[in-house]
């Protein structure tokens, strides 16, 4: 889950103002290291983030450049492991997003290959030099050979010193291409996703798996892995055109949390207008299915649990499973409608099982935040979350819109909920609980474990809140079904242990769990929608309560991160778009 950018322009462009500007817009995909290479063979790279790198590099103007921002998978965070990589002579230069699973076998095909780095990517450049220079293949023949022998996932941009063309290879890792007329007399831009160039154009081409492109400054051709011509049509998109800025906020996380009244309203208004027909079609697929299965990961999985809760309340057979375990726990058949939920639409753990079951199920539904992403393009019907670009690795506004989208579908199927009040209640909740969260953050910032309890629709929020404590605050947190306390976890509760209890209405079982942990000395923090808690959110039904309770968790985790002086928007070891399996 790295970010890659390539520019091939008719007139020279600046690597600092153009290439690295676009790369900065992809930094949420990885920020362990950064680098850039030019068609002339100059490579500059360093461990660390984009901004410090940009401030120190030598700027160049070039007609061809590739750049990379890395999330480390193979090999530690170091300059030598940073991309771009080249062969030993510096003639072939590559950037790569994905994992080459048989890198050792590829290395064995290149006599004398002695990689300098620990990565699986460096061998790609050596492979192409060997096949083209030593074996005498054309670039096209070498690319086709690469597809035949390589196992894994990859989006690769390749330049050869002195060759005015750029080569792009794609399999199971996202890659898009756009024509940007206002850049250096006209240029083609290749990137991991549209965020890189959405401030320059609203149209892009999206690569299919096992395809490659040969790009010249004024034209491009696309081929299948066997060398046959392959058609690729442009798609129009609407996406954040301006580069996201902090404005008056210290972090993107708090900015994105506070944007939620607006993003929720935008989504709900779309249900009455531009997404009315897609919403109806989506609900119709669900109504026809004998069984509904949600497929997702992480934060999106917690949203899907709310969806399953509401559907089961309506007597639909609904299940949700973490995508990486799909094949081990869920079977699908021709009467099963599968719904994939993903912020980026490029989550590899979701994409891989979708491709396996696409011909076996009743249809695929997608709920994503990035238009024309892989998951959306695989789907039969889809909904756009319209949350706008998230910069913080931890999802907040996109998560809330995922829950609202599922509520919109459930409402179409008969679930009793007034969606129109949600944006106003989100605004009220954020205003009311902000000082409480700041106070609690001061109290909890030195704690290294927190438990969050919930039942029913509140259970998924217990999981989500605990995840935010892990992601943002590096606190060991456990979100769990309150009824499971007595089956082991109660042994961990001692004097002063923080336990957050999510209690909608007068849930007697939750109140009983609260008393159980208090009897063992726990410091309980009750989140209530009846005015009886330490933290009070607006009156609401159980499903709706989940949204407001989670706002509390997001705000509290943010303020604890501030108190701990942590890199809130870019937590260690994490990236936003998980495009490796």
Catalytic machinery residues: 2, 576
> Alpha-carbon distance 117 to 279, whole Å?
49
Strands 336-342 and 203-206: unpaired
Distance CA 2, CA 23 (A): 10
Percentages of the chain per state (helix, strand, coil), in multiples of 5: 40, 25, 35
HEC assignment per residue over 384-443: ECCCCCCCCCCCCHHHHHHHHHHHHHHHHCCCCCCHHHHHHHHHHHHHHHHHHHHHHHHH
Q: Which of 212, 555, 266 is nearest to 385 (CA)?
A: 266
Short-list 564, 254, 269, 559, CA closest to 390? 254
**Cβ neighbours of residue 231 closer than 8 Å, sequence gap 6 or more:** 222
Concatenated DSSP letters of 33-75: EEEEEETTS-EEEEES-HHHHHHHSPP-EEEEEEEEEE--SSS
Describe the strand order of the beta sheet including 203-206 as a list of residue ranges.
Answer: 43-47, 33-38, 61-70, 3-14, 187-191, 176-180, 203-206, 234-236
The count of C-alpha atoms lying within 13 angstroms of the C-alpha of 329, restricted to the half-sphere facing its C-beta, is: 11
Q: Which of 376, 211, 386, 409 lies closest to 307, judged by CA?
A: 409
Cα distance between residue 510 and residue 502, in whole Å: 8
Which residue stretches of 233-347 are H helix?
252-258, 260-272, 276-288, 298-313, 326-329
């Amino acid at each position: 889950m790295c970010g890659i950018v390539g520019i091939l322009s008719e007139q020279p462009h600046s690597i600092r103002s153009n290439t690295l500007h676009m790369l900065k817009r992809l930094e949420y995909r990885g920020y362990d290291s950064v680098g850039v290479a030019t068609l002339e063979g100059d490579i500059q790279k360093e461990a660390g983030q984009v901004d410090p790198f940009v401030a120190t590099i030598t700027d160049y103007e070039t007609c061809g450049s590739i750049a990379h921002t890395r999330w480390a998978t193979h090999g530690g965070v170091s300059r030598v492991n940073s991309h771009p990589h080249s062969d030993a002579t510096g003639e072939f230069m590559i950037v790569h997003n994905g994992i080459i699973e048989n890198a050792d076998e590829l290395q064995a095909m290149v006599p004398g290959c002695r990689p300098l780095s620990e990565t699986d990517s460096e061998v790609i450049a050596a492979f192409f030099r060997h096949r083209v220079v030593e074996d005498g293949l054309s670039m096209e023949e070498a690319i086709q050979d690469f597809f035949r022998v390589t196992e894994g996932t990859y989006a690769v941009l390749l330049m050869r010193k002195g060759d005015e063309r750029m080569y792009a290879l794609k399999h199971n890792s996202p890659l898009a291409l756009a024509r940007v007329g206002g850049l250096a007399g006209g240029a083609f831009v290749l990137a991991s996703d549209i965020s890189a160039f959405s401030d320059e154009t609203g149209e892009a081409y999206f690569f299919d798996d096992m395809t490659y492109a040969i790009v010249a400054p004024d034209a491009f051709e696309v081929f299948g892995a066997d060398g046959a011509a392959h058609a690729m049509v442009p798609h129009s998109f609407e996406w954040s055109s301006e580069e996201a800025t902090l404005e008056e906020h210290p972090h993107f996380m708090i900015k994105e949390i506070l944007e939620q009244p607006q993003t929720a309203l935008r989504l709900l208004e779309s249900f009455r207008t531009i997404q009315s027909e897609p919403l109806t079609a989506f609900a119709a697929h669900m109504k026809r299915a004998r069984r509904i299965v949600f497929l997702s990961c992480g934060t999106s999985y917690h949203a899907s649990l709310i969806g399953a809760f509401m559907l089961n309340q309506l007597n639909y057979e609904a299940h949700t499973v973490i995508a990486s375990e799909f094949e081990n726990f869920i079977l699908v058949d021709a009467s099963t409608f599968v719904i994939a939920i993903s912020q980026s639409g490029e989550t590899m753990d979701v994409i891989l099982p979708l491709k396996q079951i696409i011909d076996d199920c009743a249809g695929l539904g997608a709920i994503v935040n990035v238009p024309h992403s892989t998951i959306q393009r695989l789907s039969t019907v889809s909904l756009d979350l319209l949350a706008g670009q998230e910069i913080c690795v931890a999802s907040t506004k996109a998560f809330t819109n995922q829950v609202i989208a599922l509520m919109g579908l459930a409402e179409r199927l008969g679930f009793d909920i007034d969606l129109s009040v949600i944006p106003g209640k989100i605004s009220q909740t954020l205003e009311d609980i902000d000082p409480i969260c700041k106070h609690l953050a001061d109290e909890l910032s030195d704690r290294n474990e927190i438990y969050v309890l919930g039942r029913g629709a509140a259970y998924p929020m217990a999981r989500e809140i605990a995840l935010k404590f892990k992601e943002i605050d590096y606190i060991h947190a456990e979100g769990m079904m309150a009824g499971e306390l007595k089956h082991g976890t109660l042994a961990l509760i001692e004097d002063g242990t923080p336990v957050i209890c999510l209690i909608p209405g007068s849930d007697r079982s939750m109140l009983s769990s609260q008393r159980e942990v208090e009897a063992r000395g726990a410091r309980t923090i009750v989140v209530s929608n009846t005015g009886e808690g330490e933290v009070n959110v607006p009156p609401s039904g159980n499903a709706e309560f989940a949204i407001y309770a989670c706002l509390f968790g997001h705000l509290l985790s943010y303020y604890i991160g501030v108190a701990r002086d942590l890199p809130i928007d870019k937590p260690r070891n994490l990236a936003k778009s998980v495009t490796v399996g």
